[in-house]
Amino acid sequence: MTETLLYRHLDEMTPWDARLQVLEVIGVAEEAPDVKTFTFRSDAQTWFRYKPGQFITLELPLEDGPLMRTYTLSSSPSRPFSIAVTVKAQPGSVGTRWMFDHLEPGTHVTAYGPAGDFTHHNHPAGKYLLLSAGSGVTPMMSMLRWFNDCAPWTDVAFVNCARLPEEIIFRKELDLLGNRMPGLTLGFLIEQRSKRENWFGPTGRIDFTRLSLLAPDFLEREVFCCGPEPFMRAARDMLKAAGFDMAHYHQESFSAPVAELAPDILPDVGVDGDAVAEAASFPVRFALSDVDAESAGGQTVLQVSRASGVRIPAACEFGLCGTCKVKMTAGTVEMAHNGGILDEEIEEGYILACCSKPTGAISIEA
């Protein structure tokens, strides 16, 4: 398809929005032990508009009821007719194991998104360091694929850490991109050697010495970091100790932050919303379900909905993923979110049910 025909085709289609979508699986690929990539197309013939590094929330239809799981997109928006998530099945994981056992080409799954602000589009820079461990490589791969398609000369240091050589995700594609992108420098760090595959590169865990070897000018780069929390904590501490300007450090995490952001009051009611929410209860109307409920002091809208038998989809439950976004048609709430909702959505009346506490009688479209 030529570029002209591509954009003409896009003009005839509607872009994917942040509401519920139905996706069809069109591909499943094994990337590493217990790691698979699932590729989807839109069931509604829409194209995918998102930023590299963003995530979606999948609604998985388990026998015991729907399970919400949030996954970063490993695909690039520069190829807008499909999206992909690359997931690792951890010991004891439920949702990912279900995907491994049930998702195959032709099956369907519902999804919410895209969402998230972990993307280089929000932080343009002359040089980047994409630092990851394990499956934290997925948003980095999304950004790197975008660079390859749209700006292959970009100066990118790509450093990935894995436990064993065979557990490096996207290894073959990364080696290929390393030969195609003149500004790309690849660095791999392995914790321990393997009997299955020879390894001649550096070993151990990330520290100042090893990072200096893999990306000597890391102090001059815009840093994006993703991986297990202990890895990201070690990376943060190392960069701070090295004198790095942490204003240029960004990390992706689906764990609740240590400190909550200051709450937004919707709308500004001019009172201590927190004190009101804790001290009183208020009527909550779920209009679409025709259910009237009462919030106990300090309850969130999501907690009220569950106690009343009204289903509002939710995944992270601390205001990051945006899955529980609902429209409030009357009333006021105190909302302390962590980036899962846009300012324009708030202006339109939307709230995140998981982190919104009524400060008066409210009505919700749920």
pLDDT in tens, 219-255: 999 999 999 999 999 999 999 999 999 999 999 865 5
What pLDDT shows up at residue 255?
53
What average pLDDT does the segment 314-343 reach?
A: 83
Q: Which long-range contacts (CB under 8 A, 24 or more apart) does 175-179 make?
A: 177/144, 177/148
Q: Is residue 338 predicted with pLDDT exceeding 80?
A: no
Residue 181: which of 211, 215, 158 has the closest Cα?
158
Q: Is residue 216 predicted with pLDDT exceeding 60?
A: yes
* Residue 9: both structure tokens together: 């085709």
| 3-class DSSP assignment, residue 76 | coil
Region at 80 (left for phi over 0; alpha for psi -120 to 50; beta for the rest): alpha
What pLDDT shows up at residue 19?
60
| 3-class DSSP assignment, residue 165 | helix
**Contact status, residue 359 vs residue 336, Cβ threshold 8 Å:** no
More confident residue, 217 or 10: 217
Angle at 157 between CA 156 and CA 161, to 5 degrees: 140
Non-local CB neighbours of 82 within 8 Å, separated by 6+ positions: 26, 39, 40, 41, 48, 75
Q: Give residue-wise pLDDT tens across range 160-210.
A: 999 999 999 999 999 999 999 999 999 999 998 887 888 888 999 999 999
Distance of CA 69 to the CA centre of its chain: 10
What average pLDDT does the segment 106-115 reach?
A: 90
What average pLDDT does the segment 54-81 reach?
A: 91
Quote the mean pLDDT of the chain.
86
Cα 142 to Cα 73: distance, rounded to the nearest angstrom: 7
Non-local CB neighbours of 113 within 8 Å, separated by 6+ positions: 18, 50, 54, 55, 56, 57, 321, 322, 323
* Residue 26: both structure tokens together: 């069109």
What pLDDT shows up at residue 26?
97
The two beta strands, 21-32 and 108-115, are: antiparallel
Q: Is residue 6 predicted with pLDDT exceeding 80?
A: no
Distance of CA 76 to the CA centre of its chain: 14
Confidence of residue 214 (pLDDT cuts 50, 70, 90): very high
Where is mean pLDDT largest: 15-19, 233-237, 334-338? 233-237
Confidence of residue 45 (pLDDT cuts 50, 70, 90): confident
Cα 194 to Cα 269: distance, rounded to the nearest angstrom: 61
Confidence of residue 320 (pLDDT cuts 50, 70, 90): confident
More confident residue, 153 or 112: 153
Q: Is residue 5 predicted with pLDDT exceeding 70?
A: no
What average pLDDT does the segment 26-49 reach?
A: 91
**Contact status, residue 321 vs residue 72, Cβ threshold 8 Å:** no
Q: Is residue 258 predicted with pLDDT exceeding 70?
A: no
Of the listed ranges 45-49, 218-222, 304-308, the least confidently predicted one is 45-49
What pLDDT shows up at residue 267?
42
Q: Is residue 155 predicted with pLDDT exceeding 80?
A: yes
Distance of CA 159 to the CA centre of its chain: 20
Cα 238 to Cα 219: distance, rounded to the nearest angstrom: 11
Confidence of residue 279 (pLDDT cuts 50, 70, 90): low
What pLDDT shows up at residue 23?
93
Q: Find where tokens 């990306």 sit.
A: 215
**Contact status, residue 316 vs residue 70, Cβ threshold 8 Å:** yes
